[in-house]
Chain A
Amino acid sequence: MIASTLLAAETTADVAFGTLPSLILVPLLTAAVIMLLPASRADYVKLAALIGSVITGAISIYVLWHFDVADPGFQFTAQREWISSLGLSWFLGIDGISLFLVVLTGILFPIAILTTEPHHDPKPYHVWIMLLMAGSMGAFLALDLLLFFLFFEVVLVPMYFLIGGWGHGNRVYAAMKFFLYTMAASALMLVGIVSLVFLAAGDTGGATFNVIELAENHQLSTLASTLVFLSFALAFAVKVPVFPVHTWLPDAHTEAPTAGSVILAGVMLKLGTYGMLRFGVYLFPEVVFDLGWIFMTLGVIGIVYGAAVATMQKDLKRLVAYSSVAHMGFIVLGIFALNSQGMTGAVVQMVNHGITTGALFILVGWIYERRHTREIAALGGLQKSAPLMAGVFTLVMLSSVGLPGLNGFVGEFLILLGTFSAARWWAVVAVSGVILAALYMLWAYQRTFHGPAVGENATMEDMRLSELFGILPLLVLIVFLGVYPKPMLDRIEPSVDALIEHVEERVTDFYEPEPNEVERVGVTGLIEAAEHGESGGEGEEDH
């Protein structure tokens, strides 16, 4: 009945309304269809999930295709009243920042479904995956603060069941830890959201959760916006995860089933960094300008710490998980660099990390399926038994390391460039992360694929053609986005620039350094700007 009501609502609306909601509704309906299928027909279940996710992916490509490059604002917007007395609405829209995350979601889910097989109960498994897809899409599309929070929270449930029900080893512990950690962090965010909305009610002309109106009009005091920002930042920092609150990630990633890891790393971590951009920087530019250095520092610590810990790992999957901590550190660094290169790089890196780490988790999953171990010490010489897999692994690994010519390089380079012009010494430390990445990745590759193949390693089955076909889109993207990132950058940059312009408008003394000003502006320049900013701020209050 619910579905039919929604459908009826959709058919009466115009086409522009239907595009973005359908990104949420199609996976939702697919989940409903799967629920009705008989549990005994695992093949139907998987086929249905595949069809549903491919349709959703196709719609996301359609959005990409019709995306207006010249328009930095929100496109395909759709709005529908929800709880009107509280100013809540279903407000969806897409801009250059969310566009590629939506497409990434649309691509990664079908691949995750295609390349992996649950070891039991395929029916509920695929239902959860499709619900997860709907939730992720919703979070990236929502322009209503509360709606975003709803999706941000609701994705925990399917992921909790995926990890707990289909994971490995200590799965129940990992699932609980993941759920409670994330829920605890975002609990205060809800208080922050309503506080922001009500404190800004006078500025926005009545309570509204509309992000655009809030960002343009709210005039919160410094204390209030700092507190609200911190309530947001904690939720996002745990999701990313930023260094001291990352401890749920290795457990969740390692114990999750392969598809769960792929989606967790590829899509769900991005909710944190996307949230920082869309709801942190956009809503509280002043606070971000003042406190950005804290997050840049945490980002740099994450880069070095993640890389160092990854080097020590004995478990291949855990190694990839820690490499995520390092890569996400780069993204945080780029966001809080608060300039065009850094932020564009951050968005690019979000997408690339999704592609690369997703592919890595799929490959590790295949190795585990064949060898029933992820222990690096137990593997070795796989190159001989599985040359095709070794080749694919090499490509993906090099992309993760950030080899020029592959996708990983573009984002990291832009982030480092942006960071260098904003805060030179942070960039200098961060560069070491790139070197460390080469170290742990190449070393892991060497131990896994080189050397003599002993025992089962010598007889391991190589990649099947169907598997290659499944992962091929990711490989193509790795090369394409590395060689020719221009179409992607063209779409991201206008929106990022618009965001920075917004920051410039709101923060009196902020200005984005031009590339030729890099020499002048470093940490000292930032400090000068900040000092200048304080006196300027007081002056404005006076008049």
Chain B
Amino acid sequence: MGLFAQTVVDAIDTPEVEWKMMAPLLVLAVGAIVLITITSVVPRTRRGGFPAAFTITTAAVAGWFLKVVWSGLGDHAETYGIWRRQWIVADALMIDGFTIFVWGVILLSVFLCGGLLDSYLRREGFDGPEWYTLMMISAVGGMLLAAAHDLILIFLAVEILSIAVYVLAGLHLRRSDSQEAAFKYFILGALASAFLLYGIALVYGATGTTHLVDIFMYRSTNAAGLSPLTNSSMMLAGMAMIMIGFAFKISAVPFHVWTPDVYQGAPTPITAFMASAVKAAAFAGLFRIMWEGFTYYVDDWRPVLSALAIASLVVGSFLALAQTNVKRMLAYSSIVHAGFILIAVYAVPGVTGIGGDDPSRLGIEAFLFYLLAYTLMTIGTFGVLTAAGGVDDANHELADYRGLSKSQPVLAGLMAVLLFAQAGIPFTAGFVAKFRVIAAAAANEAYILGAVAMLAAVVSAVLYLRIVVTMFLVGDELVAHAVTDTDDDAATDGVADETASNDHLGEASTPFGQVYTPKPLLLAVMLAAFGTIVLGVFPQLVEPILTDAADSLSTLRQR
């Protein structure tokens, strides 16, 4: 197999495993196993803060290893005189800046969702470890997906990513909604997997390989029609099937129908995880396949991608207007965001002379920045929903949010920041993300896509404004939420005071209709909101990371 490789693959059956380069992945995988083991052996640790603390720590440690991997890549690059990227495990995985950035986003998601989950499980009275374990395993699948370069491995990664989430969506045993969501998600997810697998088979049939680089090389070495294996229609059919499979995962219209139901039914912290990490990983996979495998077919798949993007933007933003359930609203808003990210995937190459010395950087940077910003915004928003939903995740009608600014000024304020960020108001990460995407689109002369995206952003702004209006401006006299802490001043002046007293009260003191804002959740939401603002005002902070990531991505470079 003439694999595209820098590392020398010996003629040994078992490939060499570069453990160090996989450290973040392994830390999380081992963490998941250790957690379930400890909690089985010592039942005392099942309840309380241990599983959450363990998960958050694991994510943080794995995050720290990202740095190690990056510097390891630097050494590798110096040795071989190439960009910072390395094939590992028999060329099945590609470790480069792109991989590391997406890993970072996924780990950030695990980190923040750990905080949300802790508060949620305490309120709902569930034991923790299996939730955290499944979340970490799903994240491992996502991380694998971001690095995988072999279609078989990509399929496995998608399955690891998804199956854990199917279970997570149904883990709230008291809510039939949750069961229903898990069932729907599983059925449609399995359908998507079937499409993906069939697509992979067809591509293999057409090219005789499952490795992305070989698929890429195949077209360049075999002019169409010369090889008996070259069957363009089979290739295109396979490509289309793979795109459909991923369109399900990223919930692009018209493959979005499961999204509102599942997002609404799943436990809210799990929705946050699905909307952030799962989506980011799926997007990373799509990006890899399209730009590293099907590069030569760009003229074939780009129109499809832009049609998906436009459909997601238009349908998502308009259907959001018809919703009365906040979780469903945000599900549709996530569809609109998917449309934006699809534009970033569409707009990678760009025109020379724009975006510094390398035009392709613009689109890659837009893609990565959007993933990061979207992860922060969406986890923050669903974090607020976790708190405001009340016991059994029951209060998610828009009317339930009336007067939230009076009963929970801090929570409502954070929510407003996050919603305005999602609407793309300047000086938030949401704006910078949208701007980068629009810029990448313009650099690709896709003005219509850019215009549609901006108009969709305005339409979806209505939905964010509706929530803000409900929280802040409607029903000064109709305060739906009883204030957990009767001392109004504490609510305004000291977050710590309020949450501390809430912690003491525990789940017993949060009957229906009360807002429960314990510390881990509030901290996670604050972190997300803070990150949203910081990235909006000082976007140059992540600029070097983005540049490195884009530079080291093998896409369109050093073929």
Residue numbers of A with Cβ under 8 A of B are: 2, 5, 38-40, 81-86, 146, 149-151, 153-154, 156-157, 160-161, 164-165, 171-172, 175-176, 179-180, 183-184, 187-188, 190-191, 194-195, 197-198, 201-202, 206-207
> Quick one: which of A82, A85, A190, A194 contacts B356, CB cutoff 8 A?
A85
Q: Is the CB of A82 within 8 A of B473?
A: no
What chain B residues lie within 8 Å of A150 (beta carbons)?
Answer: 426-427, 431
What chain A residues lie within 8 Å of B493 (beta carbons)?
Answer: 38-39
Say whether, besides A38-B493, A165-B472, A171-B473, A206 and B353 are in contact (CB < 8 Å).
yes
Say whether, besides A150-B426, A154-B425, A161-B472, A2 and B534 are in contact (CB < 8 Å).
yes
Q: Is the CB of A39 within 8 A of B426?
A: no
What chain B residues lie within 8 Å of A187 (beta carbons)?
Answer: 454-455, 457-458
> Quick one: which of A176, A191, A194, A198 contacts B465, CB cutoff 8 A?
A176
Q: Is the CB of A207 within 8 A of B540?
A: no
What chain B residues lie within 8 Å of A175 (beta carbons)?
Answer: 469, 473
Further contacts, 6 of them, CB under 8 A, given A180-B465, A191-B454, A201-B353: A85-B355, A150-B426, A179-B461, A180-B461, A184-B455, A202-B353
Q: Does B237 contact A (CB under 8 A)?
A: no
Nearest-Cβ distance from residue B270 to partner chain A, whole angstroms = 31
Q: Is the CB of B447 within 8 A of A191?
A: yes
- B residues 429-443 in Cβ contact with A at 8 Å: 431-432, 434-436, 438-439, 441-443
Residue of A5, A171, A180, A194 ringed by the most chain B CB atoms within 10 A: A194
Instruction: Enumerate 17 A-B pairs (CB-CB under 8 Å) in ascending A order.
Output: A2-B534, A39-B492, A84-B543, A86-B355, A150-B431, A160-B465, A164-B469, A164-B473, A175-B469, A180-B458, A190-B434, A191-B442, A191-B454, A194-B435, A194-B442, A198-B354, A207-B355
What chain B residues lie within 8 Å of A206 (beta carbons)?
Answer: 353-354
Residue of A38, A146, A190 ringed by the most chain B CB atoms within 10 A: A190
Question: Please, which residue of chain A has its CB at the minimum distance from the CB of B454?
Answer: A187
Question: A146 CA to B436 CA in the complex, in Å?
Answer: 12
Nearest-Cβ distance from residue B173 to partner chain A, whole angstroms = 40
- B residues 237-295 in Cβ contact with A at 8 Å: none
Residue of A151, A157, A161, A171 ringed by the most chain B CB atoms within 10 A: A157
Q: Is the CB of B539 within 8 A of A82?
A: yes
Q: Is the CB of A190 within 8 A of B473?
A: no
Nearest-Cβ distance from residue B451 to partner chain A, whole angstroms = 5
Question: Please, which residue of chain A has its CB at the minimum distance from the CB of B547?
Answer: A85
Q: Does B462 contact A (CB under 8 A)?
A: yes
Q: Does B361 contact A (CB under 8 A)?
A: yes
Q: Is the CB of A164 within 8 A of B547?
A: no
Q: Lowest 8 A-B CB distances belong to which pairs? A: A150-B426, A187-B454, A194-B442, A154-B426, A191-B450, A164-B473, A184-B458, A194-B439
Q: Does B420 contact A (CB under 8 A)?
A: yes
Say whether, besides A83-B539, A164-B472, A190 and B443 are in contact (CB < 8 Å).
no
Say whether, besides A85-B543, A157-B420, A190-B454, A2 and B537 are in contact (CB < 8 Å).
yes
What chain B residues lie within 8 Å of A198 (beta carbons)?
Answer: 351, 354, 439, 442-443
Q: Is the CB of A172 within 8 A of B473?
A: yes
What chain B residues lie within 8 Å of A171 (beta carbons)?
Answer: 473
What chain A residues lie within 8 Å of B545 (beta carbons)?
Answer: none
Question: A207 CA to B357 CA in the complex, in Å?
Answer: 11
Q: Is the CB of B451 within 8 A of A188?
A: yes
Q: Is the CB of A183 within 8 A of B461?
A: yes
Q: Is the CB of B474 within 8 A of A172?
A: yes
Question: A86 CA to B354 CA in the complex, in Å?
Answer: 8
Question: A430 CA to B17 CA in the complex, in Å?
Answer: 81
Q: Is the CB of B451 within 8 A of A191?
A: yes
Say whether, besides A2-B537, A175-B473, A188 and B438 are in contact (CB < 8 Å).
no
- B residues 204-253 in Cβ contact with A at 8 Å: none
- B residues 321-344 in Cβ contact with A at 8 Å: none
> Quick one: which of A5, A38, A85, A157 contacts B361, CB cutoff 8 A?
A85
> Quick one: which of A161, A190, A201 contacts B438, CB cutoff 8 A?
A190
What chain A residues lie within 8 Å of B431 (beta carbons)?
Answer: 150, 153
Digitize B444-460: 1 where CB-to-A-CB distance is under 8 Å, 0 elsewhere: 00010011001101100
Question: Please, which residue of chain A has its CB at the minimum distance from the CB of B473?
Answer: A164
Q: Is the CB of A180 within 8 A of B355?
A: no
What chain A residues lie within 8 Å of B540 (beta carbons)?
Answer: 81-84
Q: Is the CB of B458 within 8 A of A194?
A: no
Digitize B365-385: 1 where CB-to-A-CB distance is under 8 Å, 0 elsewhere: 100000000000000000000
Question: A172 CA to B470 CA in the complex, in Å?
Answer: 10
Q: Is the CB of B458 within 8 A of A183?
A: yes
What chain A residues lie within 8 Å of B432 (beta carbons)?
Answer: 83
What chain A residues lie within 8 Å of B362 (beta carbons)?
Answer: 86
Q: Is the CB of A83 within 8 A of B447?
A: no
Say whether, besides A2-B537, A85-B355, A188-B455, A195 and B447 are in contact (CB < 8 Å).
yes
Nearest-Cβ distance from residue A38 to partner chain B, whole angstroms = 7
Question: A222 CA to B425 CA in the complex, in Å?
Answer: 31
What chain A residues lie within 8 Å of B534 (beta carbons)?
Answer: 2
Q: Is the CB of A172 within 8 A of B469?
A: yes
Say whether, besides A84-B543, A172-B474, A151 and B426 are in contact (CB < 8 Å).
yes
Residue of B447, B462, B492 ringed by the most chain A CB atoms within 10 A: B447
Digitize B410-438: 1 where CB-to-A-CB distance is under 8 Å, 0 elsewhere: 00000000001000011100011011101
Nearest-Cβ distance from residue A396 to partner chain B, whole angstroms = 32
What chain B residues lie within 8 Å of A85 (beta carbons)?
Answer: 355-356, 361, 365, 543, 547
Nearest-Cβ distance from residue A183 to partner chain B, whole angstroms = 5
Nearest-Cβ distance from residue B446 to partner chain A, whole angstroms = 10
Nearest-Cβ distance from residue A264 to partner chain B, whole angstroms = 18
Question: A151 CA to B426 CA in the complex, in Å?
Answer: 7
What chain B residues lie within 8 Å of A40 (beta carbons)?
Answer: 489
What chain B residues lie within 8 Å of A2 (beta carbons)?
Answer: 533-534, 537-538
- B residues 463-513 in Cβ contact with A at 8 Å: 465, 469, 472-474, 489, 492-493
What chain B residues lie within 8 Å of A201 (beta carbons)?
Answer: 351, 353-354
Question: Please, which residue of chain B has its CB at the minimum distance from the CB of A147?
Answer: B426
Question: A202 CA to B352 CA in the complex, in Å?
Answer: 9
Q: Is the CB of A149 within 8 A of B426?
A: yes
Q: Is the CB of A180 within 8 A of B469?
A: no
What chain A residues lie within 8 Å of B365 (beta carbons)?
Answer: 85
Residue of A83, A85, A160, A206 ringed by the most chain B CB atoms within 10 A: A85
Nearest-Cβ distance from residue B364 to partner chain A, whole angstroms = 12
What chain A residues lie within 8 Å of B473 (beta carbons)?
Answer: 164-165, 171-172, 175
Question: A194 CA to B489 CA in the complex, in Å?
Answer: 46
- B residues 507-555 in Cβ contact with A at 8 Å: 533-534, 537-540, 543, 547
Question: A39 CA to B474 CA in the complex, in Å?
Answer: 21
What chain A residues lie within 8 Å of B462 (beta carbons)?
Answer: 176, 180
Question: A458 CA to B465 CA in the complex, in Å?
Answer: 44
What chain B residues lie within 8 Å of A156 (beta carbons)?
Answer: 425
Question: A46 CA to B359 CA in the complex, in Å?
Answer: 51
> Quick one: which of B425, B442, B533 contacts A157, CB cutoff 8 A?
B425
Question: A171 CA to B457 CA in the complex, in Å?
Answer: 24
Question: A176 CA to B464 CA in the complex, in Å?
Answer: 11
Question: A156 CA to B431 CA in the complex, in Å?
Answer: 14
Question: A79 CA to B218 CA in the complex, in Å?
Answer: 50
Q: Is the CB of B354 within 8 A of A207?
A: yes
Question: A164 CA to B416 CA in the complex, in Å?
Answer: 14
- B residues 109-149 in Cβ contact with A at 8 Å: none
Q: Is the CB of B435 within 8 A of A190?
A: yes
Say whether, besides A188-B451, A194-B438, A201-B353, A153 and B469 are in contact (CB < 8 Å).
no
What chain B residues lie within 8 Å of A151 (beta carbons)?
Answer: 426
Q: Is the CB of B353 within 8 A of A153?
A: no
Nearest-Cβ distance from residue B549 to partner chain A, whole angstroms = 13
What chain B residues lie within 8 Å of A160 (beta carbons)?
Answer: 465
Nearest-Cβ distance from residue A153 to partner chain B, whole angstroms = 5
Question: A365 CA to B492 CA in the complex, in Å?
Answer: 30
Question: A156 CA to B231 CA in the complex, in Å?
Answer: 55
What chain B residues lie within 8 Å of A146 (beta carbons)?
Answer: 435
Q: Is the CB of B439 within 8 A of A86?
A: yes
Nearest-Cβ distance from residue B459 to partner chain A, whole angstroms = 8
What chain B residues lie within 8 Å of A197 (beta carbons)?
Answer: 442
